[in-house]
Structures are given as C-alpha cells and as structure tokens.
Structure 1
Amino acid sequence: MAGTTRILGRREIDVCGIAGWVDFERDLRQERRIAQEMTGTMACRGPDDEGLWLAPHAAIGHRRLAIIDLAGGRQPMTAGQEGREAAVLTYSGEIYNFEELRTELEGHGHVFRTRSDTEVLLRSYLQWGEDLAEHLNGMFAFAVWDPRAERLLMVRDRMGIKPLYYYPTAHGVLFGSEPKAILANPLARRVLEMDGLRELLAFVKTPEHGILSGLYEVRPGQVVRVSRDGIVKRRYWRLSSREHPDDVSSTVKTVRELLDDIVTRQLISDVPLCTLLSGGLDSSMVTALAAKLLREQGLGTVRSFSVDFTGYSENFKPDLTRSTPDTPYVHELARYAGADHSDIVLDSAALMDPAVRSAVLRARDLPMGIGDMDTSLYLLFKAIRGHSTVALSGESADEVFGGYRWFHDPESVAAETFPWLASPATAAHAGAERLFHDDLLRLLDLPAYRAERYRQALEEVPRLPGESGHERRMREISYLHLTRFVQILLDRKDRMSMAVGLEVRVPFCDHRLVEYVFNAPWAIKTFDGREKSLLRAASTDLLPDSILQRVKSPYPATQDPSYDEALRERARELLELRDSPAGRLVDWAKARATVDEPASPGSRAALERFVQLHHWLERYRVEPAL
C-alpha cells in the first residue's frame, strides 16, 4: 500500500480485551460457557484469537488483536516457578519500556520464550509482585491470577488510557475491559440507581464510578487486590507537586526531548501505522515529528487521516468553540510535513445510520449523548482500520498544556465548579438532562451533586508549600483536567477505536511528560501570553506559522441542517411509542416541545441524550431503581 509505514520492532503487540471471574466458593471449571460468553463480548477489541484459562476458583479470558507472531503471544499466558504454576496473565495494551525491563529481568535470571511485552509483564510480576506497576511505562490494563496465593491483581495505567472494570460478588469478583463483559454474567445486575443517573448526567467523570449499581472502574494508577480476605485498593501513582527547577528555555528544551523520546518509542510497529490529523497544534506536532523521525531513519513517509463532513468547509459558520474549519490547516500541514494524507468525508446519512448508531452505543455501553461526535469518530476509525492498525493521536495535550479556552477565561477560572461546566462552550452538554421530569430533576439535584464532586476533587489536589493566588488556582484546574476531564475523552477514544480493532496511542499521556508539565508554573506554561505556550515553542522547527498561531478548535461537529432534522424525526418516532423505557425518566411534553423548537446546540444535546437513553434502557435491559 502506498504510503504505508512499517517501523520494524522486536516485540509482539497485544491490543486486546480481557475478562474474568474469580469465585472462592464455586468450581469455575464447570462454568466454561459463561466464561466464554464474557470473553466473547470482547471480540470487537480482539477479533483474531480467543483464549480461556480455567481453574477451580478462577476463569481468565482474553481476546486478541494480533499484530505479529500469533502463537508466541497467546493469552492468557502462564508462568511457573519451582515446578508449579505461579501466575496467569490477561493483558491489554503496550509496555513501551519493555526492552529495558527484559534486559533487567534477564539480569535477575529470568529466561524468555517469546519476544512479547506480555511475557515481560508476566515475569515482572514474578520478580516484583504487586510492585510491578511502578516499573512500567505504557498504556495497559491487566489482571494477574496467582494460583499459589489464590489472589487476583487488577492494574491500570497511570493516566487511564486503557479501561478496566470490576463487579464484586458475594464470593469474588467479575472483571473486564468494558462493562459488557461483566454484564454477560448472570451475577451482574443491570440496575441504575439515583447516583448512577447523576453521574451519567453530571459531565464530571468521578474516578472509580461505574454508573450501574455495583460496577466500578479501576482508577488510573491503581492496583486492586482480590483474595479470600476481600478487596483491597492501592494507588501506585498519583500526581504530586514539587518545585519546578527550570527556566522557560530549559523547560521548552525538556518538553521537546521528552516528546522526541515518547514519539520514537510509540512509532515502533510491525504493522501499518498512521497519525490522526486535525490541523491543530497537537495533532500537527505529532504528525510532523513522526514524519521527521521516519525520514531520519530512512523508513518512509508517515500516513495521516482526518475527518470531514460533506460541504463543511464551504458552508462553515463560526460558533462559540470553533472559529475555523480544520481541512485547510490539515492539508497545509500534510504538504509541509510531507505526509501521505487522506480525508475521511462523512455525510448526515452515515451519521444517522441506525446500524452505525447501534454499534456506537454497543461500543460505549452507556448513553453518553454526544451523538454525531461519537458516530463520526467511530466511522473515521473504521475507515482508517482499512489501511492501518495503529494510529498516533494528539489527544490530551489540552489537558497537559492548558489548551482549552476556559483555562484562559477569568470567569471560568474563578467559578466554584469544574471550569468546563462554567464555560458557555460546554453548557449544552452539561444541560442535556433538561427533558427529564421536574420531580426527578429535583430528586437528582445535579447542582448539589456537581458541587460535592468538585469539593472531593479539590481535596485531592497536591499542594505546593508557599504557592498561592493564581498559580495555586491554576494548579487546581490542571489537576481537575488531568484526573477528571481527560478521562471523558480517553474513554471515548478507546471505545470508538477498539470497536473496530484500531489501536490509538496517545503520546501526550506519557506520565513523565504529564508530571513534568504539571509542575511547571502557570507563568511558564503561558510565557508567550497564549494557550499551550510550551508545546508551541517546542514545535517551532516542525510546523508552519499558520498552525503555530491557530486558535484551539475542538473536534468538529456537523453543521448540516439535515442532521438535526433526521435527529428530530427519530425523536418524534420514539415519542409515538406508548411503552418506551425512557418514559419513566423523560417528560414527553418537554420532549415534544424540544423537537419543535428551532435547532440549537442545547436542543441537539437534549435530543441526542433522549434517543440514546431510550435505546440503552431497551437494549441493555437496565432497571431504573429511582
């Protein structure tokens, strides 16, 4: 394929789905069918191979997206010590420092049978036990069953790039990469209680909250241990505050050195690799840096992809968040960096296709109500998957470097709430519950829920002695974004990409970069009077001035009036149903009035939520216990 980049590495890559069941009172060797059903729900994340390991009290499942050497990297993977089985691993993700770890482990006497980072991870457990996570650099979610101690460890990467959920039972636990794996087990109830609905609507993403009653997420940077004694949770990583030792020029230099190392590591692939390009600073920097590194190694041209909508650039209208269309900047950067670029152009019919929207809901497992921005991302990734298996993204740079407009809006900064909730740019998403019954809204009391979650988040912020005023406040806001807001976007990215078997890597989430920039004073982060000053300065040799100076523009939403009308028509159809499961929550009179009012971001967000909520309650057989 023209333009395909292959950077030959020496590892097997596993971008997969995991699932499992531990029960200390039941012989799970007799529950193969249920364990296979749980594992089978992860086929979207791993379409190429399936593995299942059964023991009296553990069923460990794995679905694999094979990159190379299928036999050598099969999972669940087992390892022995002193003549007996010592550990069983199911793992999703990538360990970027696996070669250094392998060398270190060989120095401790470990002998390897494969080239995989999976085996490096398994033997890291044998060497360091529960402390293995501190040694890892990468994106990962994994579970290790130790047959000797009858103990399960569930571990998630520091920034939460890869998802991992669990559901405690009377005698153990269910776990999986996504809720659907857990819900395939009859022990998991599908109940939505008041706090779950609050979390679904609040737009705050509380760590560990799984929405459905009894369902939890492993927190980023957390180890969860399950044994006969119960469940114990431990944070192995969290953001910490310390004095920043560098001036502006040294900080810019360090940021660039870190990004050079990060992107070099994340370019390793034995399969077609590409970048996601929006024409903004973040994705342009990743694309241009990847192009430069490939040229220097004589490894060809980087391939890039972007999303566009039929007639979008020609009929573009500026709004509160987007002042310019992406495509002109995308094409300029592709020419400047020498990328082999393709636009993926979508129309409203594709965005409203019932089969596509059903696939998106299935990927999400929850009615997030983002509508066309989820659907278009899914279709973009699906199109890319026809050409590439791995993509690099600029995701999370705004959270790391302070790129969103509300970082620089005095009213949003001063607001006693999450700053994105105080910004007009996101007010429509935060108010998507407006169709609910008034009595239910009073019971939900979302303002109080958001206020309590905000208070809890502020209590976590690591303080720097002597820091006060604006610097103190901007540390708080950075922390809120790096622990709450970024999770909303990383989860969306993971679900839409893995639903089509595409691995998306996020260089800006490398914990070394996150830790370093988090501790840079706000005055250094904005030294040129702009957003993302450090990233802009670190990119000056890579990008044309037009992109260096471009104002932040978020992921695009279609402006085609026919999309709004199709959405309204779908809502009208649902309003004709006498026994819609959403009827207990949604006020039909409010919904009908919204269908008939002029199109606006607020009405679109409310109708997207209504339509998705109906289908979620129906297809997932969720019981609202409100």
Structure 2
Amino acid sequence: MSGLCGIIKFDGSPVDRAEVERMAARVAHRGPHGIHYHYQAGVGLACLSMDPTGDGTGACRPVVARRGRVVLAADARLDNRDECQQWDSQAAVIAGGKSRDGALPTDAELMLGALLDDGERRPGHLIGDYAYALWDAGRLELRLSRDAMGMRSLYYRVEHGRVLFATEVKQILAANNASRRLNEQAVAWHLAGMQTPPGCVFYEGIEEVKPGEEVLIDMLGHVRQRTVWQPDPDKRIRYRDEREYAEHFRELIVDAMRCRLRARNRVGVSLSGGIDSGTIATVAGWLGERGESASEIRAYSWAFNEFSECDERENSYRMAERYGIPIHEIPAEETRPLVDDAAHEPDEDDPFMMMYQAFVSRGLSAAAADRATVMFYGDRGDMICGNFLNDVPGMLGAGLVSQAYRELLLLSRIHGQSRISSVSRYVLRPTIASVVPPRVISKCRRKVLWLRLLATRKDGIHALRVRAGPGGRIGLYVRNSFLDRVKLPSQDPVYAAAAAWKQAATRQRYICIFAPFLTRGLIYNERECAKHGVEYSDPWSDRRIAEFILACPQHYVNRATEPKRIARRAMQEIMPDDAISSARKTSPSPLYEEALRNQAYEKVMQLITNSCCKERGYIDEFLLQEKFDDFVRGKISYFDIWSIISLEKWLKKYWCQS
C-alpha cells in the first residue's frame, strides 16, 4: 500500500517543493520504507514506499528513462512479471534482468519498460493491483491509470497551467490555494445505497481515474479518457465436463494467491467460516505445505458469544487447524457499531464508512502487532461466485431438467412463493431479459413507474416515491427538492455497462462483480490497511478470475441448491471436506441492529437531530426520526440508516465547522 502524488507544470517552471512535500505528508504512513522525491523542469513528484516483498520488487520509487524525458511514479504489484520482462525492446533499458545495484527489477521498473515498449496496448496487458502516473516530457503529456478491478486509487485535478495527482483526495486538498466545494451529486449517490460510482468524487474539481481506465492530459489541459481493459462480453468457455470448470477455477485462485504471497514476513487472513476467506487461508496453507510459500499465516476472526447464530468459529477452526494456522479471536461484543466513537471516524476523502469498522481496525491492529506484512480479505468472493444469483434457464438449456426442477422448488421455499410465481420470476423473466434489449426493458419500467406515480396522485397517497434508477432507492426522508437539484441519472452506470452481456444471469453477475458499493469498500479497506502499515490484498479481485467467471455458464458458478458451487468443488482436497460442507453465509447484522436499538441509540439520535444534512436541505428530519423510531420499536424489521449516519459524521467533522 504505497502512495504517490505530484504536480506537473506545462510551462516547465519549477514546482514548489514545499507544496509536494505537504501533499506527501498528508499520507506519510504510506511511506514506512522511505519517501522518494523527484524534481526536474516542470515536474515534482513523491513516491511513498510500503514494500511488502522480501526481495525489494515492490518498492515504490520514481523511475526515470530516456535521459530524464520520461518519469514514472507507480504504486504497483505486477502478477505477470515474466511476461513484462519479455517485452524487452524498451524494458531492457529500464530493467534488463538486473538493475544497476544487482537486485531484481521492481514492479514499477518493469511497468515502465512495458509502457515504453507499446504505450497503446501494454496498459491493457498489465495484470495486478496498481496505479501509475507517467510524465512524457517529449510529448508534454501526463498519463494516469488504475488497475481494472479498482484495487488502487488515483485522483487528479486540472488547474490553469498545471495538473495535480495523488493516491488520496486529501493530498490534493493540501496543495496551494486548494478549493473545497462539496459535490452534492456524490452526496445523492451516497444516499442511494452508498453506490457512488467510480469517477464521482465528493469534491468538485477533483476527478477520479476509473478502474481499467487511462487518462491522458496534454499541455493545454485537455483531458482524454480511454478504457484499457474490460471483460469481453462475447467470450465463452465451454468444457465437456463440469469438473473442468472447477479445475480451471482452482488453477486461477491458486495462482492469484501465489502472486500475492511475495511477502517479507508473516501474512494475516481475516477469516470467517465461509468459503471466501476459507479459500484464501487454506490455499495459503496448501502452498506452504508444497514449499511454494514461506510465509507464516495467522488468522483474525470474529468471536460471537451473545449472538451465537452469527458465530462461525467452529468452521474457521476446521480450516485453520488443517494447516496449523493460529487464530486470534476478536470479541464481537467489543466491536458494536457506533459505541466507540474513535473506532468509527470517517476519512476526509469521502463519507464511505463500514458499519463494522471497529472489527476491521481491531484485526489490523492485531496483525500489525504480529508484524504481518499483508492482510488478506475475501471481499469480492461473494460477488464473484455467490450472492444468491441463479440461472434456471441455463440449466434447462443444458438439459439439466431434474436439477432445474429441484432448484425451482428450493427457490420457492426460500422466498415463500408459489411455484407459478417462481417459474415467472426465475424462468420467464430472465429468458425475456436475455432476448429483449435492456434499453427496451428499462423504457417499459419507466412507463410503469409513471403509471404508479399517476395512481398515487389520483388516490392522494404521498408515501410513495416513484423515480427511475438510483433515485428510486433513496428513502422518503430525503427531500425531493434536493434530488431535483442534483439530478441523478435514470440508470446506474454499472447497469448500462452490463447491457453488453446478452444472457441475463451473466449480466447480473457483471453488476455484482463491479458494483460501486463493493469498489468503494475495497478502497476503504485499502486506506485502513495503509494506516496500520499493512498491505491490503483480495485474491478474489483478480481480473483473470472475473473474466473466467463471466465466460462460464452461470449455473455452474452458483445455485440455491449448492451456493458457490464452483468454489466448493475447486477446493476439494485443499479445504477439509467437513469445512466445505459446513461453510455457509451468515450475517452479523444482529450485532448492528442491536447496537442501533440499544447501546448506540442516543448517539444516533444526536446525529439525526439538528443535523448538517437538515441544514443543507438534504433530509426531512421529522420523517427520518419517525422511520428510525419505527425500527427501534420493532414496527419495521430493517431500516437502512447507515448512509445517513456515515454522511452526517463526515459532514460534522469536515464541513459543518468550516
């Protein structure tokens, strides 16, 4: 979890060194292995190095080529180092086998060699987690890019005569004469289920490089954006036997772990009793047994004593004991949301905050005390191969009639539906969605929404908000005047991108894998890990795995009758059989809900009374308090108030006092 920042002045005048140092100082914790500066005509940049590797290949330092005309700053972990070294027409100049001091070339050096070899195509062939800024003085052009899965962050601001870029927004805010204007459309996206899409920043004038994108900025300040990688919607994988899908998936997840185990010291795993984190822990242990990894592994797990239905320790220990992995237990009752104010502080960059932030912080503190170099999470695992998605039409199309029948019966019981309703929901609708273009379906839905709106007006009912797209997810306590002012689009960008996939189940899988809420959560976890001096890693967020899953028949990926089917079958002979069969999806939500109703009730009321959100015209405070009171009294079983809580805490800390 290194970091970078810099300033490019197109007229070639000197960059204020104090300004660059101030930008770097805002995230000084990202540079435990040194902060390296580089200055030349019109250029000032800093690389903050946090290198988890034992061979120095993950070091973050400025890389200079072509007699100073090209400079690269990169926070990178390349997984295809060998491939990059083969592109050696220019790579040899940067990192031909050994660098000048005899050490292996760093990932950043290999990256620059690849980019110099073919600047148009090579960015799309870089595999791993990275963000880079490349200045080409010959072309007077700055190139900024992020990895396809959004595992590293990168922001920029174009000003008159110069460009600023940085890993975190707060670094840009530290620059001279930095303006602070709140982007209210980002606020509305946050209130729509915390689904702020990539590219939408909470500060006006600051832009975010999107995952899989390269931004090119020329000497006139003109910005051009291009996509360097995205999954191919026409790619299909067809094997004769289902076992081949599991074997292929196993190869990918093992290689993803192997690439991420280049660790200097021991590694940590945030371990539950489920398939996602269990796969990480057991594959790491399996690689160690085979002599492919020397990393010592330690696990950090929630221990639920009061809420036994949430406790997964029995299965966690099945996995850990198989490979001799010690488990550090974290009492869940000590991590209740909002009870400890210090454990639930938002970051200046944005209001996104995990409701279980206290658990994340406790785990990272313990890992740092154990001198762990890398902390593994299974954050994207559920979206890659779970999340209750099913593909009954695909099963029928493959001739799996009896299996499709059993799937429908179970779906009927799970959702309390009649068989006719289940056939309509799980067979007819997805079949139609696979044939009719998404834009036609979206248009029909908008017409239905307008009819509902007319009906509510006719009946004098005002308790229903009818808006298309993300606006329809926002609670009634958010003022219409605010939503009318910010004008959210009628469709989420991820839904628009998913339209390229013709098959309905694959389209839904794409939406899950690239969901904005998940992407924000990954960046949140990355920031938290960096604050503790630990590298963040999620092997499930490997683009090769995402590409494979999207090309697979979805009925082999997940079923109601066998959740995460492909992962369970892939882990045979690696994960203990009883652990595979016992792994299940449990939610810690009772801990959160009980905290809202009891221990944190007064704090929540303080936050939503005379609030900043009310002062800014975002919410109707009376309706919000009424809804929360209904939840506390048990009149409604669930109320999603976290987006309001996190936004209010953020506004109070960074905006209302200014």
Output the TM-score relative to the length of structure 2: 0.77
User: Deviation at 1:478?
Assistant: 1.2
Q: Distance in 1 between matches of 2:335 and 2:384?
A: 33
Paired letter, 1:202: A
Aligned residue number for residue 541 of structure 1: 573
Matched residues, number: 571
Q: Distance in 2 between matches of 1:46 and 1:224?
A: 25
1:125-524 map, 5 Å: 125-203=115-193, 204-229=195-220, 230-240=222-232, 241-247=234-240, 248-297=242-291, 302-308=296-302, 312-317=304-309, 324-346=310-332, 347-348=334-335, 352-358=339-345, 361-362=346-347, 365-368=349-352, 370-371=354-355, 373-387=356-370, 388-401=372-385, 403-405=386-388, 433=475, 435-437=477-479, 439-441=481-483, 443=485, 449=488, 451-453=490-492, 457-463=495-501, 472-485=503-516, 486-524=518-556
Aligned residue number for residue 465 of structure 2: none
CA 1:474/1:451 → structure 2, altered by over 3 Å: closer, same or farther? farther
Secondary structure at the aligned position of 1:330 is classed as helix
Q: Distance in 2 between matches of 1:76 and 1:260?
A: 29
Alpha carbons 1:160, 1:219 under 8 Å: kept: yes
Alpha carbons 2:48, 2:61 under 8 Å: kept: no
Q: Which runs of 5+ in 2 are unaligned?
A: 392-410, 412-421, 434-440, 443-470
User: Deviation at 1:598?
Assistant: 4.5
Q: Deviations over 1:172-218 (max 9, x none)?
A: 32221121112222454322344222222223342322233233221
The one of 606, 612, 626 aligned to 2:646: 612
Q: Distance in 1 between matches of 2:364 and 2:254?
A: 25
Q: Distance in 2 between matches of 1:609 and 1:482?
A: 21
User: Deviation at 1:133?
Assistant: 1.8
User: Deviation at 1:235?
Assistant: 0.9
Alpha carbons 1:582, 1:617 under 8 Å: kept: no
User: Deviation at 1:149?
Assistant: 2.4
Q: Which runs of 5+ in 1 are unaligned?
A: 1-14, 318-323, 418-428, 465-471
1:567-578 map, 5 Å: 567-574=600-607
Secondary structure at the aligned position of 2:298 is classed as strand
Q: Distance in 2 between matches of 1:144 and 1:524?
A: 42
Q: Distance in 1 between matches of 2:377 and 2:606?
A: 38
Identity %: 20
Q: Distance in 1 between matches of 2:577 and 2:324?
A: 16
Q: Distance in 1 between matches of 2:344 and 2:24?
A: 23
CA 1:557/1:220 → structure 2, altered by over 3 Å: closer, same or farther? farther
Q: Deviations over 1:62-111 (max 9, x none)?
A: 22224468999765423232xx2132222213112224433653896434
CA 1:71/1:538 → structure 2, altered by over 3 Å: closer, same or farther? closer
The one of 59, 71, 74 aligned to 1:88: 71
User: Deviation at 1:473?
Assistant: 0.5
Q: Distance in 2 between matches of 1:554 and 1:493?
A: 19
Q: Distance in 2 between matches of 1:433 and 1:369?
A: 19
CA 1:26/1:606 → structure 2, altered by over 3 Å: closer, same or farther? farther
CA 1:117/1:571 → structure 2, altered by over 3 Å: closer, same or farther? same
Q: Deviations over 1:351-387 (max 9, x none)?
A: 53223322xx12x72222543x233223322321222
Paired letter, 1:132: R
Secondary structure at the aligned position of 2:150 is classed as coil
Alpha carbons 1:190, 1:623 under 8 Å: kept: no
Aligned residue number for residue 41 of structure 1: 26
Alpha carbons 1:169, 1:187 under 8 Å: kept: no
Output the TM-score relative to the length of structure 1: 0.81
Q: Distance in 2 between matches of 1:460 and 1:298?
A: 38
CA 1:533/1:348 → structure 2, altered by over 3 Å: closer, same or farther? closer
Aligned residue number for residue 622 of structure 2: 589
Alpha carbons 1:79, 1:123 under 8 Å: kept: no
Q: Distance in 2 between matches of 1:24 and 1:103?
A: 34
Alpha carbons 1:405, 1:552 under 8 Å: kept: no
User: Deviation at 1:524?
Assistant: 2.6
Q: Distance in 2 between matches of 1:231 and 1:135?
A: 23
Q: Distance in 2 between matches of 1:107 and 1:22?
A: 24
Q: Distance in 1 between matches of 2:646 and 2:505?
A: 35
Secondary structure at the aligned position of 1:20 is classed as strand
Alpha carbons 1:582, 1:613 under 8 Å: kept: no
Paired letter, 1:475: T
CA 1:243/1:52 → structure 2, altered by over 3 Å: closer, same or farther? same
Larger radius of gyration: 2
CA 1:160/1:300 → structure 2, altered by over 3 Å: closer, same or farther? closer
Alpha carbons 1:88, 1:144 under 8 Å: kept: yes
CA 1:605/1:374 → structure 2, altered by over 3 Å: closer, same or farther? farther
Secondary structure at the aligned position of 1:173 is classed as strand
- Please identify, of 162-171 and 520-529, the stretch whose mean Cα deviation from structure 2 is larger: 520-529
The one of 544, 564, 571 aligned to 1:532: 564
Aligned residue number for residue 448 of structure 2: none
Q: Deviations over 1:526-580 (max 9, x none)?
A: 4794232111110121223443233323566725845643432223444666x84
Q: Distance in 2 between matches of 1:205 and 1:72?
A: 34
- Please identify, of 328-337 and 602-611, the stretch whose mean Cα deviation from structure 2 is larger: 602-611
Q: Distance in 1 between matches of 2:537 and 2:575?
A: 21
Alpha carbons 2:270, 2:363 under 8 Å: kept: no
Alpha carbons 1:75, 1:89 under 8 Å: kept: no
User: Deviation at 1:451?
Assistant: 4.0
CA 1:303/1:89 → structure 2, altered by over 3 Å: closer, same or farther? same
Secondary structure at the aligned position of 1:368 is classed as coil
Q: Distance in 2 between matches of 1:75 and 1:450?
A: 39
Q: Distance in 2 between matches of 1:601 and 1:183?
A: 44
Secondary structure at the aligned position of 2:351 is classed as coil
Alpha carbons 2:58, 2:76 under 8 Å: kept: no
Q: Distance in 1 between matches of 2:479 and 2:272?
A: 39
CA 1:462/1:609 → structure 2, altered by over 3 Å: closer, same or farther? closer
The answer to whether residue 80 in structure 2 is matched with residue 97 in structure 1 is yes
Paired letter, 1:54: Y
Secondary structure at the aligned position of 2:331 is classed as strand
Aligned residue number for residue 455 of structure 2: none
CA 1:72/1:280 → structure 2, altered by over 3 Å: closer, same or farther? closer
The one of 23, 43, 63 aligned to 1:78: 63
- Please identify, of 259-268 and 554-563, the stretch whose mean Cα deviation from structure 2 is larger: 554-563
